[in-house]
Amino acid sequence: MPTRLKWLSIVRSPVGATATVLVLIVALLAIFAPLLWGAQAEAIDTAGTQQGPSAEHLLGTDALGRDVLARVLIATQLSVALAVIAVVIGVTVGTLLGTAPSVLPRWAARLVVGIVNIAVAFPGLLLALFLAAVFGVGATGAVFAIGLAMAPSFARLTQTMSAAIAGRDFISAARAAGVSRLRVLIRHVLPNIAEPLIVNATVAAGGALLAFAGLSFLGIGVQVPAYDWGKLLSEGLNRIYINPAAAFGPAVAVVVAGLAFNLLGETAASVAGGRVATGRWTLSPLPQPATRTAPAFPNVSVGTILSIENLRVSYPTPNGLVHPVRGVSFEVREGEALGVVGESGSGKSLTALAASRLIEPPGVVDADRLEFNGIQMLTAPEKTIRGLLGTSLAMVFQDPMTSFNPTRRIGSQLAEAAQEHQGMSKKDAMKRAVKQLQAVRVPAATRRAEQYPHEFSGGMRQRAMIAMGLMNSPKLIIADEPTTALDVTVQRQVLRLLERVRTDTNAAILLISHDIAVVSQSCERVLVMYAGRVVEDLPTAELYTGARHPYTRALLEVVPDLDTDREQPLGVIPGRPPAPGEVPLGCAFAARCPLATVQCRESDPELETHRGKHRVACWNPVGGDTRVTLPELSTAAPRTEAAPVATVGGAQ
Amino acid sequence: MSELRFDHVSVRYGSRSTGLTAVDDVSLTIPSGSVVGLVGESGSGKSTLARAAIGLAPVTGGAITLDGVDVAKLRRRHPIQMVFQDPFSSLDPRMAIGESIAEMIPRGTFSSAAAKRAEVGRLLKLVNLDPDRAGSLPGALSGGQRQRIGLARALAARPEVIIADEITSALDVSVQGSVLNLVRNVCAELELTMLFISHNLSVVRYLSDYIAVMYLGHIVELGPVDEVLNNAKHPYTRELLASVPTRNGNLLAVDPAAPMDVEPADPHHPPSGCRFNPRCPIGPLVHPERQICVQSAPQLPTTPGHATACHFADLTRGRVPQPFEPSW
């Protein structure tokens, strides 16, 4: 979302609006108060000293009869200015100290890091008091004291953030081209850490304001005749029992200005960090999908383990709902290996997550039917779903490191699943865990069960993940890119393991992959997804010979193989898939399809049975008899309703 | 002429006790104007070797030379440039792409800012991007477009050698082809020498003239690409080839002799002798009498042509995995 839009939506939020109003008030006062009430604040009235609140002096008068309210308002300028100057000093010194290690020679860098680390450990206000004593009593001393006290924490922040940036490849690229370290720092590192620095500086300004009030209150800050809120507070406090309003006024001013700075920082942080409320409409209930039509097949056929009909996944965005999955229907039969392929953003992973009800809010899942092993997943209570996961439904993810708890031994994590769902004793569960690790061929399973996840290599972790799924004899294993992070040799081992599990336990497997070759080698049937829809569903045996959707054909064309002709350029699918919010009216692939016609651009073809178990969603399927004549037919079709009648091409 | 030569190069990280030799005594020559494909699994040291060539990894033994001159002495010229794997981390998100490219142009090449801008435009056109996009930030570009910028940026430094480290592994297959075609055409046109690193054998085969297979810091097989792929001699290369998912292959086929489920070796504690021996289907696990594999590390012959670092390489020929019928 563009930054300007983000700011707008921020300003509309309650916190953002409050921050904006408060900051505006403080800023206006700082600029205009001395012009408006200057004379009043300096007017000495010996007759009316130390008066209480009255219509003339809302907060009373001080020891010289000057109006306290006017003085509080005028003190805004000095108080805010001192705070801002201190922050500028703190941020500048901190940034210099924090970035120095990346340009200094190694020994000097270590020295700077050491000093900063010690300074960070020292309490800030104590440091300020110490420095105030060093620089002498007065506003200048206080500014330096507070500014320098702030520097170590900024130095540390800068160091940490620059270290994170320094590991990125664009820094390597610049260094490989001989760009000097100072230049790398100024041109690459600083711009990338500026945002969080500014956010922190804004929050720190609120803190500086309080610190100044504290120092002036203690008498080592601003000295007479100048005055800031701390000074006024200390004057007012001397006679708090006579005129509480004189202390109350500056106190409120400090709180309001401090709040203004802090809220501004918070607001800036939420813009920078992307924590933006996604717009007004998220607060209202999400639009419900149109009334459900009755499922085409009233009963799930025997032997079907997972039945999905017209599955939709929607996410709210500032521009309205988008549908990354738009009406997916398929069935998985007992013991079947079904592959789902598609490019990133095709909705294949979301489909798998939706099937197991693992989509987190604000995502919304809707379907005409979502039935697993006889359970209606959409209406089943949360408890039933949780019972399913880890028992009859196993999930294997791309990165098994994030799926295991890093602080617990592999064996006990596996055993936990059996203890929880089958009520096994700890000892029996542990035995079963070892047995399952052996079943997935983890060498030395008894010893490995005692190890932590980080002691496992990627391939072994993926085995352990599969073993965990097998603890409770699952009926379906959903594997989402289980081998993408693995080397090809290990990939082959994991695919073989899944195949062995399937033949041994008759568990069905839903394998999601971006690699059509992997799926064609390890599954019986393949679903090809594009822009949130299934465009083709066919047996893998027919994949290379009988695929009819131009996208499936194109995918097969562009993947280089060990016998690709090296004299020819590699195949390319021009263009890119539409973003979820920009799916066109007709077939989503039409813009990239060499066979697209007017009909394709105007209406989206249904996934229809071509022959036997082969389904395809295309107006002009490749290889059909009607392929040549179809374009004419469809251009002749009426613009508004490109009736499915025109789909003679193979649709039954 | 620009021949890149790795001469007994070692790269070692960390201290003596906890350190790791990522690249161990590797010798490899990339003839001028040719493409050498480097394959191997993660942790085999292939990226470390590449980073050593551009000075991003410490060369602790041996030398890397370009036409006989140590590359460490060529730092002013930067004749070796790299295209990185991750298109999202290899471009500064705060810098317009034109600026990123201009930064790499050697100082003093162009006197005026206009000439520099024209050069950026020329480079963008060279990688099939609209020169008018020089002002866009990387965030506005797709992964494939970013990889083209990565290539343009490397070319801006007027390199003689390009190192491409897994440049398509983060891309979707539908755009992979366009990046590979581009790299191939540009390198041929500019007569660049290239080290092309990938874990994908099909991609390496398509682009390379020679192929080098790395395993745990060693090069185990080296030779002209067709020779190595059609007549692989090292058991590791054969295992790699059998693991590539292809339309005609059979991934689920089981070779009954192979010790399949052995864990990859720990690079911190490499096995003695031949580093592949704990996984080797023709090694001491299967043939207990072959103790030489545990006792001594086979050397890669320095003769030109197809070379294999294996004690029993010549005995493996003709051995194919037994076909296995899946249950359906």
3-state SS, residue A574: coil
DSSP state of A185: I
3-state SS, residue B24: strand
The answer to whether residue A3 neighbours chain B at the CB level (below 8 Å) is no
* Contact criterion met (CB below 8 Å) for A650 and A616: yes
The end-to-end CA distance of chain B, in Å, is 56
**A523: which 2 tokens?**
């599954």
> How far is the C-alpha of A79 from the C-alpha of A210, rounded, in Å?
9
B164-223 pLDDT, tens digit per residue, is: 998 988 888 888 888 999 999 999 999 999 999 998 899 999 999 999 999 999 999 999
The answer to whether residue A136 neighbours chain B at the CB level (below 8 Å) is no
The answer to whether residue A570 neighbours chain B at the CB level (below 8 Å) is yes
* Bond into A362 cis (ω within 30): yes
| Residue B285: how many other CB atoms lie within 10 Å | 17
Chain A residues close to B244, C-beta within 8 Å: 488, 562
* Contact criterion met (CB below 8 Å) for A352 and A339: no
Chain A residues close to B252, C-beta within 8 Å: 495-496, 499, 521-522
Give the CATH number of domain A304-534; options: 3.40.50.2000, 1.10.357.10, 2.130.10.10, 3.40.50.300: 3.40.50.300
User: In this structure, what is the dihedral angle of CA atoms A101, A102, A107, A111, given to the nearest 10 degrees?
Assistant: 10
A256: left (phi over 0), alpha (psi -120 to 50) or beta: alpha
Beta partners for residue A512, in sequence order: A340, A480
CA distance A259 to chain B (A): 31
**A187: which 2 tokens?**
């041109």
Radius of gyration of chain A (CA): 34
Beta partners for residue A616, in sequence order: A536, A608
> How far is the C-alpha of A83 from the C-alpha of A211, rounded, in Å?
9
Distances (CA, A) of A452 to A269, A408, A555, B20: 37, 6, 40, 22
Closest listed residue to residue A313, CA positions, set A266, A281, A345, A275 = A345
* Contact criterion met (CB below 8 Å) for A158 and B78: no
Confidence band for B262, pLDDT divided at 50, 70 and 90: low
**B78: which 2 tokens?**
């930067």
CA distance B200 to chain A (A): 8
**How buried is residue B73: exposed, middle or buried, by Cβ count under 10 Å (0-12/13-18/19+)?**
exposed
> How far is the C-alpha of A277 from the C-alpha of A265, rounded, in Å?
16
Q: What residues of chain A score a pLDDT lower than 50?
A: 1, 275-297, 625-652
By C-alpha distance, the chain A residue nearest B252 is A496
3-state SS, residue A522: helix
**How buried is residue B21: exposed, middle or buried, by Cβ count under 10 Å (0-12/13-18/19+)?**
buried
> Which of B153, B244, B328 is nearest residue A524 as measured by Cβ atoms?
B328
Residue B13 has pLDDT above 70, yes or no: yes
The end-to-end CA distance of chain A, in Å, is 45
Count, residues in chain B = 328
Cβ of A564 within 8 Å of Cβ of B177? The answer is no
Residue written as token pair 């007992």: A334
Chain A residues close to B240, C-beta within 8 Å: 488-489
Cβ of A562 within 8 Å of Cβ of B201? The answer is yes
pLDDT score, position A538: 93
Complex ipTM value? 0.85
Spell out the domain ranges in chain A. 3-45+62-272, 304-534, 550-646
Output the CATH code of domain A3-45+62-272.
1.10.3720.10
Beta partners for residue A537, in sequence order: A527, A615
| 3-class SS string, A345-388 | CCCHHHHHHHHCCCCCCCCEEECCEEEECCEECCCCCHHHHHHH
> How far is the C-alpha of A560 from the C-alpha of A541, rounded, in Å?
20
Handedness of CA A346, A352, A354, A358 (dihedral sign): negative
pLDDT score, position A341: 94
A561, A564, A568: best mutation site toward chain B, by most B Cβ within 10 Å?
A561
- Please list, residue by residue across A280-299, b when 16 or more beta carbons sit within 10 angstroms of its beta carbon and e when fewer do: eeeeeeeeeeeeeeebeeee
Radius of gyration of chain B (CA): 21
Handedness of CA A63, A66, A71, A73 (dihedral sign): positive
